Amino acid sequence: MAHFQYSGRDNTGALVSGNIDAGTADDVAAQLFGDRVTPIDIHEVQGRVATPKKTAKSKASELGPDATTVEHVNAFLASSKVAADDKIMFARQMYSLTKAGLPLDRAIKGLQASLVNVTFKKVLKDVLVGLENGQNLASALGRHPKVFSPLFLNLVHVGENTGRLDVAFQQIGKYLILEKNTSKQVKSATRYPLFVFSAIFAAVGVITVFVIPVFASTFARLGADLPWQTVLLVDSSNFVINYWPILLLAVFGAISGFFSYTRTDLGALNWDRAKLHIPLAGAVFERVALGRFARTFSMVMTAGVPIVQGLTVVAGAVGNAFISRNVQIMREGVERGESLYSTAANSKMFTPLVLQMIAVGEETGTVDELMAEVADFYDAEVEYDLKALSDSIEPILITFIGGLVLILALGVFLPIWELNTAANG
């Protein structure tokens, strides 16, 4: 784990600072939000803090000696991550239990006993320990920033302070469901082209490695002059067969280098900016991120989170580093006393229609309601764009496949046709 220094303001506005050991700066921010501290500056300091090493344990051994066979099987099959469905179910159940007036410790203890996911079971066990030690729910949940996002923690924190914890969990559940549906739509739109390209790649690989060498040996025995299409295919096949280890290493290195680069702050910023300019798909990525911005901002404003702190939370929830940086710039403008409309206009992220809605909401004090309408607008746009993307990709894929088949046909069958013509002539 890395060692971070931070400075921020607590719920009274006082300046606080300190040190935290965490995996990333985002994890530090989540912990601070859970402790009701709004971070101002977070930076990593040199040197590592020694942490005790844990001995590896199987999931089954974590259940204890009293676990049944069914529990051991479920532990073996359960995912090591907390999925979105797990968090949605947790939010829904917490909404029902808190609305019924059940104490938090009893509610979480009951939910923990009913879980199948071993990782989430351990998380709730630790949350329960935090509650028993006198922490509030937001702070106890903030001990696990990889599971509970800053938005999740802030809404829980506001719900505790206002006595509307059930409403907070209701909002969280709705938000998580919308996020899941959006992700499902994007995956559904990209699944077909990915499958087609994978099939094309596999077919080209089989033809290059197994089919073309057979034809090449036949043409070589006949000693005929080959057309340039066939020469190109034969040379490509020989290159792949002779240098396939180097090609695999180059592909693996390129993929590893790309993912390593995008895990850096600068790489994530550049890649997320580039995604917004990808033909056909760029508009979808942009509207998905802006829809998250509007929906999240509406929720934090409805919950009563201060606008500056709310924009900080929103910046971490949009899922795009480039748009997140623009939201941070908006927050800095609001801190300087600028209006939300002017900072939004300067960001150049929003259409004139959305800017007008922000201006009206700021004038009438209904920013939360109008931002919810903006989120609905972007959701409808994303749905339309995904349908248009699917309709546009199909002719592109058909044209690409047709061109590939034409090249292979010319390269393989053209010399056969010429030889047959020469023999008959």
Handedness of CA 195, 198, 202, 208 (dihedral sign): positive
> pTM (2 decimals)?
0.67
Q: What is the pLDDT of residue 274?
A: 92
Average pLDDT, the chain: 80
10 Å CB burial of residue 339 (0-12, 13-18, 19+) is middle
Phi, psi (degrees; rounded to nearest 5) at 192: -65, -55
3 state SS of 309: helix
Q: Hey, how many other C-beta atoms are within 10 angstroms of the C-beta on 71?
A: 16
- Maximum Cα interatomic distance, the chain, rounded to a whole number of Å: 97
**Is there a contact between 94 and 127 (Cβ–Cβ < 8 Å)?**
no
**What's the rounded Cα separation, in Å, for the pair 30 and 25?**
9
Confidence class for position 256, pLDDT limits 50, 70, 90:
very high
Q: What is the pLDDT of residue 159?
A: 83
Confidence class for position 24, pLDDT limits 50, 70, 90:
confident
Instruction: Give 74 or 262, the one with higher predicted confidence.
Output: 262
Q: What is the mean pLDDT of residues 382-390?
A: 81
Q: What is the pLDDT of residue 53?
A: 40
Q: What is the mean pLDDT of residues 180-203?
A: 81
Nearest one of 278, 271, 270 to 385, comparing CA atoms: 278
Q: What is the pLDDT of residue 295?
A: 85
Q: What is the mean pLDDT of residues 12-20?
A: 70
Q: Which residues lie below 8 Å from residue 339, measured CB to CB, with a gap of 6+?
A: 362
Q: What is the pLDDT of residue 258?
A: 93
pLDDT tens figures, 110-155: 888 888 888 898 999 998 888 888 888 888 888 888 888 887 887 8
Q: What is the pLDDT of residue 143?
A: 86
Give yes or no for residue 46 having a pLDDT over 70: no
Q: What is the mean pLDDT of residues 278-300?
A: 85
Domains in the chain with CATH codes: 1-49 (3.10.20), 72-148 (no CATH), 164-425 (1.20.81.30)
Q: What is the pLDDT of residue 57?
A: 45
- Lowest-pLDDT range of 37-46, 127-136, 320-329: 37-46
